[in-house]
Amino acid sequence: MQNDILFEAQNSVCTFGHGKKLVRAVDDVSFNIKDGEIVSLVGGSGCGKSVLAKMMLGLHHPTSGAFTYKGAPITDYNLHWREVQAVFQDPFSCFNQFFTIRSQLKAAFGIYKDKPSNSEMEERVDQALLAVNVKPSELEGKYPFELSGGQMQRMLLARIFVLKPKVLIADEPTSMVDACVRANILDYLMKLKEELSMTIVFITHDIGLAYYVSDRIFIMHKGKIVEQGAPDDVTVHPKSEHTIQLLEDIPEIHKEWIKR
């Protein structure tokens, strides 16, 4: 295995249920993701992209085939989650509504074997909030239910700044916010990548978004990766009918930019 490969799947399958109710959520996929890449998994609802993302987080394991991180199966969750973290489309489900935002950002340090001192944790939380354009004083004593969806998405990203993982799985992180907030969140994600030298895996149904941000795009349909390659290869010269369908669903202005 090459040193720069982080995730590698070889004929990986992930199923749920039994007998007639068996569902092949991930169906014989093979790929790799390299250190420092931005890769997008693109497909419609139920295509298996979120299940594949959970496999990357170690929350699901392959039923058959191989799925590895740095050449080994994912078994030590605490160690894995120090390096691989996620942001999701519903930030409110990721925070306890009965504890302040600040206390929960500090609690994120619990994943480390040796936690920083309290003063260092406070300083790193302040730095993380400033990184997503939030003044620490504005968050003092605030609970999740007191913030908007866009503000809570920023809190998810602040937690990533706190933890500084090697890999970020971004599962539809902009689907619940308006266009202005969406652009800000994408800016923050790119800032994260540059400042922390992260690998980012986007999970999205939006092939236009994938085109703008990715080094490579994987198209998924019914659990399979039906096409993969560089953004220009996948969008300008699509080979799969499912890729063509995704392209037909994006606005005309995006299509014109892709043609350029």
pLDDT, tens only, 56-111: 999 999 999 999 999 999 998 888 999 999 988 777 888 999 999 999 999 998 88
Domains annotated for the chain, with CATH where assigned, are 5-259 (3.40.50.300)
Q: How far apart are CA 19 and CA 6, in angstroms?
A: 34
* Mean pLDDT, the chain, integer: 87
pLDDT, tens only, 186-198: 887 888 788 888 9
> Considering only 57-61, 72-76, 132-136, 223-227, which range has the smallest mean pLDDT?
132-136
SS3 242: helix
> Considering only 131-135, 181-185, 190-194, 200-204, which range has the smallest mean pLDDT?
181-185
Residue 173 has pLDDT above 90, yes or no: no
Contacts of 85 (CB under 8 A, 6+ apart): 159, 160, 163, 165, 167, 168, 169
Given a contact cutoff of 8 angstroms between Cβ atoms, the answer to whether 62 and 13 are in contact is: yes
Of residues 253, 210, 213, the one with CA closest to residue 228? 210
pLDDT of residue 2: 47
Model pTM? Answer: 0.85
Look up residue 47 and give its DSSP letter.
Answer: S
